[in-house]
Structure 1
C-alpha cells in the first residue's frame, strides 16, 4: 500500500511539471535578461516550424511584462514560419543566431500594410532587431503585387530609438524596414537583397541614419526618405540586379522641412534608375529643401535606359552642395535637374552648387538624355553654380543650359584603374592602392586643383595646400602632391670597440658610443651578452663581473639605431682565471678642464683645479695607464695621493669638498678640454660625461668625497 501511494505521488508530480512547462511563467524561464525560442526543444518557448508566431509572440509578451528581461533570442539553425505579425514592445531586443530565419507562411493572404514585425503599441521606444534572417517568401505568395504595401518585413509607426543591424533582409513584396513618424532610427551592418520595395523607407521621421549596408535592389530604391529631416546615408554599397529603382531616393512634398540631409561615402553602381534621385513637389520655400552630397562613387547607373529617371544624380525642387564625388559612365547625364515623376514645386531659387567633382564618360540614352556632364532642364526656376570640376569623355559634352566655369578642368583625370573602378588619382608622389602607397609615372591634373575655399586638412603630406578634385579629396587617402619625398636620413656610425680581457671575479665596464650626422636620437642594443652582463640601451653602458667558471671568449655584437638605419660592431670579451697581482703602476695622466677656457688643453700639470671661482667651474679628469703591463696582470691596490696647496696668509672661507665620479666615456689627454673629449669630438655634456655611484648619467651621488677642512 505504501509503494502504490508513492507511485501515485511520482506520477502526479511529473504531470504537474508538464502542465507548468507549457505556460509562459517565470517559474521555468532561463535566467534574466534573455529568454530563448528554439526549434529543437531546448528553448523556453519551443516551435515546430508551423504557426511559430504563437511561441515567439508569447516570448515577446513575456519580456514586455517582466522588466528583468530584455531579450528574445531565436536559436538556430531553424526556420520559424509565421502566419501572424510579431509584436515587439519597448526596451526589447529581438535577436537570433545567424542561422535562425523568420519566414512568412506560403499563401498568407494578409491584408495590405500588415507586416511581419511591428510595434506592440504606438509610442514604443527602445526597439532592437539584430542578428538573423527575415525571408518574405516571395515565391510562396505570388497573388499580390510588389511595391503596394504587402508583407513589409518590419513596419514601425510612431516609435523612438530603433536599431536594426546585422540582419539579412530578403525576398519579399514590400519594404525591408518601413518607419512612419519615428525618431532616432538606425539601420546598419545589414545585407538587404532583392526586396519588393525599398530597403529602408523612412516617412515623416527625424534623426535617421543608415550606414555600412550592402543593398541589392529589385523593385524600388535601396534607401529612401519622404518628408524626413535630420538624416544621413553613408558608407553603403548599393546596386540593382535585373531591375529596381534609384540607389537613394529623397522625396519632399509641401511644407515639411528637408534641409538637413547628408549623403556621403557611398558606392552606388549599376542601379536601374539614377544613382541618387532627389525630387520635390507641391508648394514650399527653396530654403526648406537642401542636401549635401559628397565623397560618393557613382558609376554605370541608369541601366534602364528607356526610363527618364536615370543619371548619376537627378534633382528637382532641392538646392544644396554636391562636392567631391566621382560620377563615371552614367546614362543620361552626370548631374541633371529635370522633372520626371511629379510636377516640380512652384517658386524658384533652387540652386545646386557643384564643385570638386569628377564627371566622366556620361552616356546617352533615348529617354534619359544625350550624356552631358551637367544638364539643366529647369532653367527658369533651377540653376547650377559650378566650381573646380573635372569633365572628360562625356558623350554630350560638358554643359547644357549651364553657365560654364573657368575653374573647371577638361582633361583625363588619370584614374588609377577605371576598368576596376579604382578612382584614386595617379601620382608621382604617392597614391593609395588599398594596401599601401605606390607611385605612378604621371600625376593627375586633379591633384591640388579643387576649390581654394575647400578644406584640405585631412589629406596626407605632401598635400600641396589645396584640396584634390574627386571622391578622395580631403581624406586620408587623397593622392599626394609634388615630387616623391626623398629620405636623406644618414645611418649612425658606431665607434670602434676594442677587444678586452677581464679576470673572473673582476668588474668590466665600458660605454658603447656612436655618432649621427643628422643629430637623431640613438638607441643601443646588444646580442650575445654573457650571463650576468647588463647593457643600458639609452646610454650604451656595458657592465659585467664574470664569475669563476665563466672563463672563455665571448663575442658580443653591439648595435645602434636612429629608428630607421643601423650600424653595429662586435667585440671579443675574454675571461681568464684570476691570478696574482702585478707591480703597481705609477704612470698617471690628468687634465684640467676650465669652463673659462673651454677649448684649451691643460695637460701634464703638477697641480689640478677643481671647484668654482668667479662664476666659472673647474674640473679634472685623471686616468692610470696600464698598457705597459701584462694583460693577465691584476691591479690589487691603487693609491691616489693629493697634496693641497693654499697660499700662506690667506684664509680659507669654508671647507673644500672634492667629489669623485666614474667617467662615462674615454678621452684623449692630448686634446681633452672643457668642450671636447678628443680631437673634433665633443663631450655630450660640456665639462665631461660621468656616472655617479648609482649609475646615473651626470648624477650627483659621488663614489667618494675628499674633504679639506678650512681650519686645517
Structure 2
C-alpha cells in the first residue's frame, strides 16, 4: 500500500509541476504580448543581458546589427542602449527608416581615442545615402572625446556627432552631447527636424546646424557654446527657436545665428522667442544676409520677441558682440525683449567683415516695446549704446516705445526716436530686478517677463550628476531584464526561423566583439 501511495503522490507532484510550468509560460506569454516596448524593442548591452552585446571595443558593430535588424523587420521599431554602459565606437552608426535609437541616461556612445577619421565622417548618420525618414534619437549621452583626439582642429567638420542629408522627420531629444570637435546635429536638405530637451556642453562647432532645409524647431535646449553657435540656420526657412537657454564659457560665437547667402533660398518665416541668451561670447543673435543680390521678399519678416539678453557679447575684441547684430534682412521685428548689460550695443546694424556685405540698400528694422538697460562698453563693438547703426547708408531703424536706462554710451548712435522713454529713477530700479511690472507700465511689463525666468549657467559636474541612475531607474531596469529574458527566447526562435544572414543574436552570458 505504501508503495502505491508513494507512486500516487509522485504522480500528483509531476502533474502539479507540469501545471506550474504551463501557468508560468502562459503568464510570460501574456506579459510578452501586452508589453509594447518588449514587442518592438531590441536591446543592446555589455553584460550579456541584451539581444546584442558589446565588449567596449568597436561597439558600433553590434549597434549596427541591431539597427539593421530593426530596419529589416517592420514589427520592431526601437534599438535601446542599456546603461550604465559606455559604447566605444571606431566607425559610424547607421540608422534607417522609422527607427528609434534610444538609451538610458547612463548609456554613453563615445568616440574611440585617436580616431583617424576623415572630414565630415559623423558618429551617427543615415543608413541610406539617398535619404531616410522618421528617425528618432533620444535619451542617452554622446561623448565626442575631444581631449583624446586633440590632433584635430575644431570647427572643420571632424567628428560631427549626428549628421543627416536629404532626410525627413528627424527628432533628436533628451540627449546629452558634449566635448566634440564638430557639430551636435548637422542636417542638410532636410525637412521636419525637431531638436528639443537636449543638453550640449562645449561642442566643437554649432550645436544645431541646419543648411538648405525647412520646417525646423528647436526648444527647451540647454547649451554652452565653445567654438561657434548654439543654434544656426543657413539658407533655411520655416523655423522656430524658443525656450532655449544658451551661454558660453569665454569661447564661441553667437548664441543664435541666422545666415542667408545669395538668392537661391527664401528666408521669410523665422520666429525666435522666449529664449535666454546669457554671456555669449559674441552676439546673442547674429543675423546676416550677403552675397549676390537677392529680393528683399526672400529675406524678411524675422520676428524676435519675448527673449532675455543678459551680458551677451563678452568678447571685447569681437566687433559682432552685443545683443542682436544684423544686416541684410528687411522688416525684422524686435519687440517685447529685455536687454540687460549687453556689451557694445544692445541692437546694432553692422557688417561684421567684408565677406558679410549685404547687397543693395533700403533695409529696415522695427524695434518696439523693448527694455534696454545697462549696456556696457566694448573695445571693438561699441561704447555701450542701446541702438547702434553703423550702416546708415543702407539700413535704418524704426524705434517705437522702448524703455531705456543706464546705457553707458548713450541711447543712440546713428539712430533716433521720438517715442522711446527714458526710465526715471523709480522705474529704473524696478527694471534692474527680475520682478514683474504691473499693468501701469504697459507694454514693458511684457518685456520684463521675457525669456526663461531663471538664472542660467550650465555646470558640467551638475550635468554629470543628473546622469546618475536613481533607485527607481535601477529597480525598473532589473525588473525589465526579467521580461526581456522571456522575450529573448521568442526572439531567438524567430531569428532562427527567418534565417537572417550574418546576424548574431547574443544570448545571455555571451559577449560578441
**What TM bracket, shorter-length normalisation?**
0.7 to 0.9
Quote the offset at 1:286 in angstroms.
1.9
Quote the offset at 1:349 in angstroms.
2.2
Cα distance in 2 between the residues matched to 1:43 and 1:407: 64
Quote the offset at 1:143 in angstroms.
0.8
Q: 3-state SS of the aligned residue for 2:269? A: strand
Alignment of 1:235-634 (within 5 A): 235-255=243-263, 256-282=265-291, 283-290=293-300, 291-319=302-330, 320-341=332-353, 342-412=355-425, 413-414=427-428, 416=430, 418=432, 422=434, 424-425=436-437, 427=438, 447-448=441-442, 450=443, 468=445, 470-472=447-449
Q: Structure 2 residue aligned with 1:133, among 120, 135, 141?
A: 141
Q: 3-state SS of the aligned residue for 2:113? A: coil
**1:101 maps to 2:101:** no
Gaps of at least 5 residues in structure 1 are 1-29, 430-444, 451-466, 478-712
Query: Is contact 2:272–2:303 with CA below 8 Å preserved after alignment?
Result: yes
Deviations 1:402-446 (A, max 9, x none): 13223434445446573xx61533x4x8xxxxxxxxxxxxxxx7x
Task: Classify 1:108/1:58 alpha carbon distance in 2 versus 1 (closer, same or farther; 3 Å).
Answer: same
Cα distance in 1 between the residues matched to 2:158 and 2:178: 14
Quote the offset at 1:240 in angstroms.
0.4
- The aligned counterpart of 1:504 is none
Cα distance in 2 between the residues matched to 1:190 and 1:168: 6
Cα distance in 2 between the residues matched to 1:295 and 1:469: 7
Task: Classify 1:349/1:154 alpha carbon distance in 2 versus 1 (closer, same or farther; 3 Å).
Answer: same
Cα distance in 2 between the residues matched to 1:296 and 1:36: 42
Q: Structure 2 residue aligned with 1:47, among 49, 54, 79?
A: 54
Q: Give the length in aligned residue pairs.
A: 410
Q: 3-state SS of the aligned residue for 1:219? A: coil
**1:215 maps to 2:214:** no
Q: Which has the larger radius of gyration?
A: 1
Task: State the TM-score, normalized to the length of structure 2.
Answer: 0.77
Task: Classify 1:31/1:395 alpha carbon distance in 2 versus 1 (closer, same or farther; 3 Å).
Answer: closer
- The aligned counterpart of 1:61 is 68
Cα distance in 2 between the residues matched to 1:368 and 1:110: 38
**1:72 maps to 2:79:** yes
Higher helix share: 2
- The aligned counterpart of 2:182 is 174
Q: 3-state SS of the aligned residue for 1:126? A: strand
Quote the offset at 1:275 in angstroms.
0.6
Cα distance in 1 between the residues matched to 2:175 and 2:429: 35
Q: 3-state SS of the aligned residue for 1:318? A: coil
Task: State the TM-score, normalized to the length of structure 1.
Answer: 0.56
Q: Structure 2 residue aligned with 1:230, among 214, 235, 238?
A: 238
- The aligned counterpart of 1:191 is 199
Deviations 1:91-124 (A, max 9, x none): 0000001110000000111000000000111220
4+ residue stretches of structure 1 with deviation over 6 A?
none
Quote the offset at 1:370 in angstroms.
1.0
The Cα RMSD (Å) is: 1.9
Cα distance in 2 between the residues matched to 1:360 and 1:271: 17
Higher strand share: 1
Query: Is contact 2:86–2:110 with CA below 8 Å preserved after alignment?
Result: yes
Quote the offset at 1:472 in angstroms.
3.0
Task: Classify 1:423/1:396 alpha carbon distance in 2 versus 1 (closer, same or farther; 3 Å).
Answer: farther
Cα distance in 2 between the residues matched to 1:47 and 1:306: 48
Cα distance in 2 between the residues matched to 1:117 and 1:469: 42
Q: Which of the pair has the greater relative contact order for Cα pairs under 8 Å at 6+ separation? A: 2
Gaps of at least 5 residues in structure 2 are 1-36, 454-513
